[in-house]
Amino acid sequence: METPLLENQSSPTLCRRSLIESKKLWHLAGPAIFTSICNYSLGALTQTFTGQVGELELAAVSIENSVIAGLGFGFLLGMGSALETLCGQAFGAGRLRMLGIYMQRSWVILFCTALILTPVYVFSNYILKLVGVYDELADLAGEFAIWMLPQLFAYAANFPIQKFLQSQRKVMAMAWVAGIVLVIHAFLSWLMIMKLDWGLVGAAITLNLAWWLVVLGEFGYILIYCTDAWTGFSWLAFKDLWGFVKLSLASAVMLCLEFWYLMVLIVIVSKLPDPLIPVDAASICMNINGWDAMIALGFNAAISVRVSNELGAGDAKAAKFAVWVVSVTSVSIGIVVMIVILCTKGIFPVLFSSSTAVQEEVTKLASLLGITVALNSLQPVLSGVAIGAGWQAIIAYINIGCYYIVGLPAGILLGFKFNFGVEGIWGGMIGGIALQTLILIGLTASTDWKKEASQAESRVRKWGGSLEDGNGSVENNHVAHE
């Protein structure tokens, strides 16, 4: 067991404090990054294999992954992210039994949400045509979306499980499941899409199967190894649902506004003249950006757990210090990835498409991709701080202003009015990301962490911490600083 960072050392140097905190963060972030990359690679590999089938198939899968599945993914992930605040702070306060209740409440809400989203999948071809996607592409993407409905409900099952495990720092189990499923998915994708020539049908079968294997693997682990936090299904899952829904909706709006922002780039690009090549090129860049974003998303999960655990335990100084350590670490990695992209911009496009025209367009977009990667190395981390502290509603308003009032109109103006095409659209949207990042930096720097710790204690009591038995007070000192 590690020595508490700030209380039990007489005068630790900044370097030593940073090393201790970095060790705690990487213990969480390393497996979380690996898990995020593996889970994201399920869809990305499907896109890569279909890219070898044809340009239209690649565009259809890209549209479905980015817009339709992206909508479901973003909304359900956001709804499930309420658990990062509640489970993390309850774990920090030693209220272990409440974690299982929170997860079940989240399942009820997310499965109902998935049912509400089902018509979006069923009628997605009409929706895509309505926003300007040309008929042939919209029809094929809409057909693929209907085949991908099982994935939507896998999201609803999986996200609460992930937050339940993350809040207890059981991230290695998630990493093992994700890695094994990715290997299975890669083999089955090659077999069904390339070898058996099943095309989009094979892509849908393998992708749906992969996500449900993730759900079954992680839930099986919970049944065996999480008996303190999981005591079986309970009617308490249906208690205080409306209040839980409100917090879930705030989380959903916050994350959806972020997640959809760059995904909508594909839709806007599809309205350019002769859009097939730009759509394919932009989707490849978004694919790479998504892989890199999984690194920041891993840090997002890690800092959310660290902040919520420390605030739940009442240690404001440790929460504040964790924020600065993870920010420096993530930005450093983002800069390295940006340099790699810029140095290989004439090479990596070949891996994603056999079309020379698409490869050349990707090379042109590489500089914008590099800038986006650098900015996105910090922004998701600060969003993780917001989730850990319970600031979802505030961040939602910031996202609306920066992304949809500033960035998106600027991109449309540059792309269509000034005829800069896909480069102009993307460049304008980068401005929105930069503005949001600056505001989040200011918000984080001005935070009163003692006040946040006090609010975390109130939140644990409000959301059912009093239902925990007396063991909670015994566990508290051990759980918070393991």
Residue whose token pair is 């089955």: 188
* Contact (CB, 8 A) for 368 and 427: yes
How many Å apart are CA 392 and CA 386, to the nearest integer? 6
The answer to whether 82 touches 160, Cβ cutoff 8 Å, is no
- Angle value at C-alpha 338, between 333 and 342, nearest 5 degrees: 150
Collect contacts of 123-132 with beta carbons under 8 A, ≥24 apart: 124/64, 124/67, 124/68, 128/63, 128/67, 128/267, 131/267, 131/271, 132/267, 132/270, 132/271
pLDDT at 458: 65
In this prediction, residue 384 carries a pLDDT of 67
Nearest to 305 by CA among 171, 447, 116: 171
**137: enclosing H helix or E strand:** helix 135-147
pLDDT per residue rounded down to tens, the chain (482 residues): 444 444 444 446 878 888 888 888 888 888 988 998 899 889 888 888 887 777 788 888 888 887 888 888 888 887 877 777 677 777 777 777 788 888 898 899 899 999 999 999 999 999 888 877 788 889 999 999 999 999 999 999 999 999 889 888 888 999 999 999 999 999 999 999 888 888 889 999 999 999 999 999 999 999 999 888 888 888 877 777 777 777 677 767 777 777 777 777 877 887 888 887 888 888 888 878 877 887 877 887 787 778 777 776 777 788 788 888 888 888 899 999 999 999 999 888 888 777 888 889 999 999 999 999 998 888 777 776 776 666 767 877 888 899 999 999 999 999 998 989 889 999 998 999 899 889 888 888 887 767 766 766 665 566 554 444 434 333 333 333 33
36's CB contacts (< 8 A; 6+ apart) are 294, 295, 297, 298, 301
What's the CA gap between 230 and 209, in Å, rounded? 26
306 sits in which H/E element: helix 276-312
- Tokens 């658990």 locate to 83
Residue type, 50: T
Alpha carbons 320 and 451: distance in angstroms, whole number: 12
Q: Which amino acid is at 246?
A: K
Q: Where are the alpha helices (DSSP H) in 195-240?
A: 199-225
DSSP per-residue string spanning 393-436 = HHHHHHHIIIIIIIIHHHHHIIIIIS--HHHHHHHHHHHHHHHH
- Kindly state the DSSP code that residue 275 receives in the 8-state scheme: -
Per-residue pLDDT, 209: 96
The amino acid at residue 308 is: S
